[in-house]
Chain A
Amino acid sequence: MMAALRKLIWVLFAALLIVLPLIFRSSLALTLLSQMGYLIIICLSYNMLLGQGGMLSFGHAVYTGLGAFMAVHAMNLATKGALPLPLVVIPLVGGLAGMFFAALFGYVTTKKSGTTFAMITLGMGELVAAMSLMFPGFFGGEGGVTTNRVYGHGFLGLTFGPQIQVYYLIAVYCFISTALMYAFTATPLGRMLNAVRDNPERVEFIGYDTQWVRYLGFIIAGFFAGIGGALAGINFEIVNSSDGLSSVRSGGYLLFTFLGGATFFFGPMIGAVLLVFASVLLSEVTKAWLLYIGLVFLLMVMYAPGGVASLIMMNVRVAAFGKLKRLLRPYAVLLLTAAPVVAGGAAIIEMIYQIQLNAASGSKLRFFGVDLDTDSAASWLGAAVVLAVGLAMLEMSRRRFAQAWGQVQEEIEAEIKQREAD
Chain B
Amino acid sequence: MEFFAISLLNGLSYGLLLFMLSSGLTLIFSMMGVLNFAHTSFYMLGAYFAYTISGTIGFWPALFVAPLLVGLLGAAFERYSLRRVHKFGHVPELLVTFGMSYLILEVVQLVWGRATVPYGLPEQLQGPLFTLFGTQFPKSRSFIMFLALLMLLSVWLLLTRTRIGLVIQAALTHPEAVESLGHNVPRVFMLVFGGGAALAALAGVIGGNTYVTEPSMAGAVGSIVFVVVVVGGMGSLAGAFLASLLIGVLQTFAVAIDQSLASGLQAIGVAVTEQTFGYELLKLSVAQVAPILPYLLLVLILIFRPKGLLGKREG
User: A residues near B, CB below 8 A?
Assistant: 50, 54, 56, 108, 111-116, 118-120, 122-124, 126-127, 130-131, 134-135, 137, 247, 251, 254-255, 258, 288, 290-291, 293-295, 297-298, 301-302, 305, 349, 352-353, 356-357
Q: How far is the CB of A283 from chain B (nearest CB, A)?
A: 13
In Å, the complex CA distance between A112 and B311 comes to: 14
Task: State whether the Cβ of B63 lies closer than 8 Å to any Cβ in chain A.
Answer: no
Q: Verify B92–A301 contact, CB threshold 8 A.
A: yes
Q: Verify A302–B81 contact, CB threshold 8 A.
A: yes
- Comparing B109-117, B128-136, B176-184, the segment that makes contact with chain A is B109-117
Q: Verify A302–B102 contact, CB threshold 8 A.
A: no
Residues of B within 8 A of A122 (CB): 223, 226
Task: State whether the Cβ of B229 lies closer than 8 Å to any Cβ in chain A.
Answer: yes
Q: Verify B298–A290 contact, CB threshold 8 A.
A: no
CB under 8 Å from chain A, chain B span 282-315: 284, 288-289, 291-292, 294-296, 298-299, 302-303, 306, 314-315
Judged by DSSP, the binding face of A is: helix
In Å, the complex CA distance between A384 and B302 comes to: 52
Tier of interface size on chain B: 35 or more
Q: How far is the CB of A291 from chain B (nearest CB, A)?
A: 4
Q: Verify A123–B223 contact, CB threshold 8 A.
A: yes
Q: How far is the CB of A218 from chain B (nearest CB, A)?
A: 15
Residues of B within 8 A of A119 (CB): 35, 226-227, 229-230
In Å, the complex CA distance between A323 and B88 comes to: 27
- Looking at the complex, which one of A123, A126, A247, A294 makes contact with B99 (CB distance below 8 Å)? A294
Q: How far is the CB of B215 from chain A (nearest CB, A)?
A: 12
In Å, the complex CA distance between A352 and B106 comes to: 12
Q: Verify A114–B90 contact, CB threshold 8 A.
A: yes
Q: Verify B230–A305 contact, CB threshold 8 A.
A: no
- Given known contacts A108-B303, A130-B292, A135-B280, A115 and B33 CB-to-CB distance under 8 angstroms: yes
Residues of B within 8 A of A113 (CB): 315
Q: How far is the CB of A171 from chain B (nearest CB, A)?
A: 31
Q: How many A-B residue pairs have CB under 8 A?
A: 120
Judged by DSSP, the binding face of B is: helix
- Looking at the complex, which one of B102, B219, B314 makes contact with A297 (CB distance below 8 Å)? B102
Q: Verify A127–B99 contact, CB threshold 8 A.
A: no
Q: Verify A301–B114 contact, CB threshold 8 A.
A: no
Q: Verify B227–A123 contact, CB threshold 8 A.
A: yes
In Å, the complex CA distance between A358 and B296 comes to: 42
Task: State whether the Cβ of B166 lies closer than 8 Å to any Cβ in chain A.
Answer: no
Q: How far is the CB of B56 from chain A (nearest CB, A)?
A: 20
25 A-B pairs, CB-CB below 8 angstroms? A54-B91, A112-B315, A114-B315, A115-B35, A123-B223, A123-B298, A124-B299, A126-B223, A126-B292, A127-B296, A135-B280, A254-B98, A255-B99, A288-B110, A291-B106, A293-B102, A297-B99, A298-B81, A298-B100, A301-B85, A305-B88, A349-B110, A352-B110, A352-B111, A356-B110
- Looking at the complex, which one of A247, A291, A301, A357 makes contact with B113 (CB distance below 8 Å)? A357
Q: Verify B35–A294 contact, CB threshold 8 A.
A: no
Q: How far is the CB of B145 from chain A (nearest CB, A)?
A: 26
- Chain B residue at smallest Cβ distance from A353: B110
Q: Verify A127–B299 contact, CB threshold 8 A.
A: yes
- Given known contacts A116-B315, A251-B98, A124 and B106 CB-to-CB distance under 8 angstroms: no
Known: A120-B230, A134-B284, A254-B95. 13 other contacts (CB 8 A): A115-B234, A116-B230, A120-B302, A122-B226, A123-B294, A126-B223, A127-B298, A134-B289, A135-B280, A258-B95, A288-B106, A352-B110, A357-B114
CB under 8 Å from chain A, chain B span 108-126: 109-111, 113-114
Q: How far is the CB of B301 from chain A (nearest CB, A)?
A: 10
Q: How far is the CB of B311 from chain A (nearest CB, A)?
A: 10
